[in-house]
Structure 1
Amino acid sequence: MTGEPTMQYGKFDSVLVANRGEIAVRVIRAARDEGIRTIAVHAEADSDAVHVSLADEAHLLPGTLARDTYLNIERLIDIALATDAQAVHPGYGFLSESAEFARAVLAAGLVWIGPPPQAIEALGDKVKARAVARSVGAPLVPGTSDPVSSAAEVAEFVEAHGLPIAIKAAFGGGGRGLRVVRDASRIADELESATREALAAFGRGECFVERYLEHPRHVEAQLLVDSHGNAVVVGTRDCSLQRRHQKLIEEAPAPFLSDEQTTTIIESSVRIGAAAGYVGAGTVEFLVGADGMISFLEVNTRLQVEHPVTEETTGVDLVSEQFSIARGEWLRVPSTPSPRGHSIEVRINCEDPAAGFRPAPGRITVWDFPRAPGLRLDAGVETGSVVTEWYDSMLGKLIITGKDRRTALARARRALDEIRIEGVPTVLPLDRNILAHHDFADTFAVHTGWIEEHLDELVDLAGDDEAADSTLVEVPVGRDRHRIHLPGLAVLGDRAAEIKSRAVRSGAGIDQGDVAVIPMQGTVVRVAVSEGDRVEKGDLIAAVEAMKMENAVLAHRAGVIVGLAVAVGDVCSQGEQICRIEADSAE
């Protein structure tokens, strides 16, 4: 590329942490351990966030939306230069896999704590990444060599290779912009949905298609490569327990792999990194089919959320290694370490499993964790923190380590029983049931679709925890009742019962049986109906994005759409009217 800035490696004593939440806290603490001055940034909604108070100094990113704040490259560079930052660490998410941001950092004369922009482009584009993997002989399932341009092109692929298929964002990850298609009649709708979500999340809507492996495990390799060409896989992880392609529980090392499978994964990862000119920390991800077949999935050109389980089982501080590589030093990990013990990470997401995993912003009134051997908490919140609807729903993660997998599981179950989080719902009740399930604990019969297959059972078992939740209100919508969290009830004492009663009597403004409402505060990204349309129960009305998740709003009854009150781009509050569905003679 003409004018490509040169990667700069060298000492630095100050770093701008271009992120928020748990990962910003993690990087700031690692930097302070090494005597590096830290500069934090924050949106208006994050003014009181933990990472802001931990940093040596913090600077405002005016606005609330991600595009105006944590995705604002020009503003981030301005702050870095104004504060005399010498390096930039992007964390994960946001701009961490943006070649444009990496180039802007380098062009400003700063050290970029990440891979070269060319490697980000080669591996961040999933189509190009597949080409790199293919060129070094890594295992692959069939897929398109370029992004698809139409539903017809997807249909042609299906005719040649069969169903199911996965439609994937070419410039993203984390499950956003990914749709699994098992019915050919759904191709057009799912391609449109994947494209729209990819565009909103990553600024690029291109998608490619590949055969979808049924019931695969998700296994990844933690790669480190220095600027001198030395590469090592620090360890493997299993991240199969996912919902909507978002990981919930991870562990290291990846259990129940044969020596041959482990060798294939490690050697393929090193070859992929070398072919792409990679430098830094990265993760090479694979799917392992039920029949043992391994297929390259993607490369995440950044630190992973689940990196602590590798740290705990290898003794390698991966953020410190990122700093070392960025300084131009030789790898301090000469070969793949032998794992010591076993580690499990449980993500703590502010979502309500009993209400379709709806994000649930609010104030955390209790944040209390056990202290015991083998427990580590990485979090971006504390008691009193306000969880906003604008960003990711993950509050933190609990990492549990034992001498072996059995010990780690026992410690994890005990720790989850002792945790107290109040004020907002979390997925911890679901996590408890997963860790207790024999498929995970005894036979390891889990796969990437396992949670969806067992979701009704897992959520039903979690019901007792929710029944005791003082923030939960049941609101009637037609003949159905929907559970909505009002986190403020937790701090209102005796007034809570009165407010609950009034909310149920009035339906919190939605007791009319013909009203369809916004399920959580968020941004409308699709309106699927028009005034006067007739819908059946279960038809899509709209899609709302909250905390980086797209949530479908379905018709709760059959009828005719009237009083349509929202449009794409509207930022709406929970309970706000979308439209009315009036009964007609066809109902």
Structure 2
Amino acid sequence: MFDKILIANRGEIACRVIKTARRMGIKTVAVYSEADANARHVRLADEAVLIGPAAARESYLVIDKIIAAAKQTGAQAIHPGYGFLSENEDFCHACEREGIVFIGPPVSAIRAMGSKSEAKKLMDAAGVPLTPGYHGDEQAPAYLHQQADAIGYPVLIKAAAGGGGKGMRLVEKSEDFIDLLASCKREAISSFGDDHVLVEKYITKPRHIEIQVFGDTHGNVVYLFERDCSVQRRHQKVLEEAPAPGMTPERRAAMGKAAVDAAKAVGYVGAGTVEFIANQDGSFYFMEMNTRLQVEHPVTEMITGLDLVEWQLRVASGEKLPLEQEQLQIRGHALEARIYAEDPAKGFLPSTGKLVHLAPPAESLHVRVDTGVEEGDEISPHYDPMIAKLIVWDINRDRALARMLQALADYRVVGVANNIEFLSRLTACPAFSGADLDTGLIEREKAYLFPADAGVADEVLQIAALAELLREAALADKRAQRTADARSPWHARDGWRMNATARRTLLFRHADTDHAVDVAYLPGAWRLSIDGRSVEARGELNERGLLRVELDGTRMDATVIAAAGRRHVFAKGRAWQLAAVDPLHHGGEGGGAEGGLLAPMPGKVIALVAAEGAKVEKGAPLLILEAMKMEHTITAPAAGTVKAFRFGVGDQVGDGAELVDFEATAA
């Protein structure tokens, strides 16, 4: 077994590998960019080496720097995690050349599966069922268009070197093919350095089911059952589970055999995942093989009781697989939710910023949190905006769903937009809870998943007001303790008045509406009134924002976090963001340009779609910005004229930068 390994990655996967290595007595070396100097994986590792600037192409993707770090620290092996260089055959070959063990498959397997088109040829020869489509080398747009027309719409354009949902475009009609092909190729060259694509028939209500396989250097290959990853947005997984709902033993055995045949066809070693598109009737087709550990591997660990990173380390050191196929068993059901810094209501637009408050649910035998960040850390624009993976387990799916809902209700994040409430609605959605699964679930359940804003309930405003009053009292007491006369009645915030009841009004803004809470001071409590409806309130608030609430004798727990003029209220499984309004301030909460012509985050301009001087209709695409690994199309906010672009293709832009000089047509 190795004495020391280097982890050529960052974030939660680096932390995850460190956890297993430490349990096994193996020392770890982290690598980090300048942006990650204070990152959690750097703090956890035994050693850490700076490898370059923030941009991944100048740090985490530079093979020579990572090899040098391994040699400098005496690491015997490199774990690539997932993403970055994990499926890069040049990196694997460089490790081999320098006598460093690559904790993953051999170069030949990465090469064979690195191209989707070549992989499909191999799978066809191995008898693995394939989706109908074009997997050839001819890449002329007109020829690909012709092939798509022959296959029949809808079709899916996929980057041959792609993965992680990048470089994929759904084409529903012939006239859209050329534009979407160009967009797909742009993303493919940016993400993978290769714009080769294939075109496949799009299965209209598909399930995405993948099989975890493991091979060793002694010729043994097993499958560790399946994961259902059907719930996706932008072709990226959101909720994963194991085992797949509705999976029969016969179908599991057939898919498992196909996955093992696929792995054996390329001489696979280590952890890998064979991904299938499955029809509702039970038929399935090979989609791709990921030659690495998957983001969603924890659900497999939870139902098998195994540590897949430990298996990776043992296999890479030359050991045989710890178990044979007949020894592997499924126990219970597990779900994984990806907690992202993103705004689902704005098309899942990524969010950046400091994690002002971060309180995940308590971990237990039923709840696990894999994360690369802690409170006070930054979600950077340079990398994937994942905050954590929340994994739950129980003896059956219904109980696991209940566990997930409770764990999500207990999750507290302040400082960045996040998808926790969306995930709660998704978990509770009748289609998901009833296992009516396919990759279009989010789109077809939009009405349930993206409900209209129902406003803010009186109870939420009462909780916010109570927290405000308790916080004021606590601050007053702290100030008093720093004075020479701490017991002076002038320090008190109890609202005492001679022959009168003290009254005041607290104002909170939700969306664009101001809400007034009238406060009357009572002995040891407050009378809170909203539009004539009142309750008697008292409670206790600690420094972490945990609030014990009592409203007219009814008790509950809540959390209220004050940050940058806002009050984040967490209660009864939901979260509300309120602005604390100063009634003496008339300037509002700031402004900004209307119409969506500002950069939503730091990024790079990759295409100017409209021409300067062009007259366009509302919603017409103007330019395309690449930010946080995704393309964002900036559209016209109204009918008007594009006067000028303030940036050119290739220019980097800052958050909030004005991108287009646009003149709306007078009504």
Alpha carbons of structure 1 residues 322 and 373: separation in structure 2 relative to 1, 3 Å? closer
Given that 1:365 and 1:490 are in contact with CA atoms closer than 8 Å, whether structure 2 keeps it comes out as no
Equivalent residue of 2:319, what SS?
coil
8 Å CA contact 1:473–1:504 kept in 2: the answer is no
Which residue of structure 1 aligns with residue 80 of structure 2? 90
Match of 1:7 in 2: none
Residue number in structure 2 paired with 1:348: 339
Q: Residues of 1 paired with 2:597 and 2:630: CA distance?
A: 20
Matches within 5 A, 1:186-265: 186-265=176-255
Give the equivalent residue in structure 1 for 2:388: 396
From the superposition, tell whether residues 493 and 212 of structure 1 become closer, same or farther in structure 2 (CA, over 3 Å).
same
Deviation string for 1:92-141 (max 9, x for gaps)? 01110100111111111100001011110111210111112111111112
Q: 1:484 matched to which residue of 2?
A: none
- CA–CA distance in 1 between the matches of 2:586 and 2:69? 48
TM-score (norm 1): 0.90
In the other structure, the counterpart of 1:583 is 664
2:25 is aligned with 1:35: yes
Distance (whole Å) between structure 2 residues aligned to residue 396 and residue 461 of structure 1: 27
Q: Secondary structure at the match of 2:133?
A: coil
1:374 aligns with 2:366: yes
Mapped to 2, the partners of 1:57 and 1:385 lie a distance apart of 20
Classify the secondary structure of the residue corresponding to 1:234.
strand
Q: Which residue is 2:350 aligned to?
A: 359
Partner residue in 1 for 2:554: none
| Superposed CA offset, 1:490-549 (max 9, x none) | 6334897579989967533x14x6x72212222222221221122221111122222212
Displacement of 1:473: 7.9
1:178-189 equivalence runs, <5 A: 178-189=168-179
- How far does the alpha carbon of each residue in 1:142-195 deviate from its partner, in whole angstroms, 9 at most, with x for none? 121324512212221123220011100101211100001001111111111111
Counterpart Cα distance in 2 of 1:209 and 1:182? 13
Q: Which position in structure 2 is the counterpart of 1:302?
A: 292
CA distance in structure 2 between the partners assigned to 1:461 and 1:399 by the alignment: 29
Distance 1:127 1:268, change over 3 A: same
* Distance verdict in 2 for CA 1:423–1:318, change over 3 Å: same
Question: Does the 8 Å CA contact 1:237/1:254 hold for their aligned counterparts?
Answer: yes
AA of the residue aligned to 2:563: V
Among candidates 49, 63, 83, match of residue 53 of structure 2: 63
Amino acid at match of 2:42: V
Match of residue 175 from structure 1: 165
CA contact (8 A) 2:509 2:581 kept: no
Q: Which residue of 1 aligns with 2:375?
A: 383
Distance 1:153 1:504 in 2: 56
Does the CA contact (< 8 Å) of 2:28 and 2:45 recur in 1?
yes
- 2:444 and 2:207 mapped to 1: Cα distance? 14
Partner of 1:138: 128
User: Is 1:542 matched with 2:627?
Assistant: no
Structure 1 segments unaligned to the other structure (5+ residues): 1-10, 475-488
Pick one of 627, 632, 645 that aligns with 1:564. Answer: 645
Moved more, 400-409 or 195-204: 195-204
Query: Is structure 2 residue 537 aligned with structure 1 residue 453?
Result: no
Residue 5 of structure 1: aligned partner: none
Does residue 554 (structure 1) correspond to residue 635 (structure 2)? The answer is: yes
Instruction: Provide the residue aligned with 1:507 in structure 2.
Output: 591
Identical columns (%): 43
- Quick one: structure 1 residues 463 and 151, their matched pair in 2 at CA, closer, same or farther if it must change by over 3 Å? farther
**Aligned counterpart for 2:563 among listed residues 472, 480, 491:** 491
Distance in structure 2 (CA, Å) of the matches to 1:299 and 1:434:
28
Tell me how far apart the structure 2 counterparts of residues 153 and 205 of structure 1 sit (CA, whole Å): 15
Alpha-carbon separation, structure 2, partners of 1:181 and 1:147: 20
> Quick check: which one's strand share is greater?
2
Task: Identify the residue that residue 516 of structure 1 maps to in structure 2.
Answer: 597
RMSD over aligned Cα, in angstroms?
2.5
TM-score by length of 2: 0.80
Residues of 1 paired with 2:340 and 2:641: CA distance? 37
How far residue 12 of structure 1 moved from its aligned partner, in angstroms, is: 2.0
2:57 corresponds to which letter in structure 1?
R
Matching residue of 2:279: 289
Amino acid at match of 2:13: I
1:461 Cα deviation from its structure 2 partner: 6.3
- Corresponding position: 1:422 with 2:396: no
Whole-Å separation in 2 of the counterparts to 1:208 and 1:271? 23
Cα distance change, pair 471–207 in 1 and its aligned pair in 2 (3 A): farther
Closer, same or farther: CA 471–344 of 1 in aligned 2, 3 Å: farther
- SS for the counterpart of 1:311 is helix
Asked whether the equivalents of residues 142 and 210 of structure 1 are also in contact (C-alpha less than 8 Å), the reply is yes
Higher RCO (C-alpha under 8 Å, 6+ residues apart)? 1
Structure 2 residue identity aligned to 1:133: M
**More displaced 10-residue stretch of structure 1: 284-293 or 170-179:** 284-293
Contact 1:175 1:244 in 2 (8 A): yes
Q: Which amino acid aligns with 2:564?
A: L
Q: Tell me how many residue pairs correspond in the alignment.
A: 559
Give the stretch that moved more between structures: 258-267 or 25-34.
258-267
Task: Provide the rounded CA distance (Å) in 2 between the counterparts of 1:369 and 1:540.
Answer: 39
Seen in structure 2, the aligned counterparts of structure 1 residues 104 and 26 have a Cα distance that, compared at 3 Å, is same
Q: CA deviation at 1:201?
A: 1.1
In terms of mean alpha carbon deviation, does 405-414 or 136-145 score higher?
136-145
Question: CA shift at 1:259, angstroms?
Answer: 2.6
CA distance in 2, matches of 1:384, 1:52: 15
Judge which range, 425-434 or 532-541, deviates more.
532-541
Contact 1:440 1:446 in 2 (8 A): yes
Distance 1:179 1:109, change over 3 A: same
Cα distance change on mapping 1:84 and 1:182 into 2, 3 Å: same
Q: Which amino acid in structure 2 is aligned with residue 28 of structure 1?
A: I
Equivalent position to 1:311, from 301, 313, 316: 301
* Conserved 8 A contact 2:225-2:252: no
**Residue 608 of structure 2 corresponds to which residue in structure 1?**
527
State how far apart, in whole Å, the 2-side matches of 1:356 and 1:175 are: 16
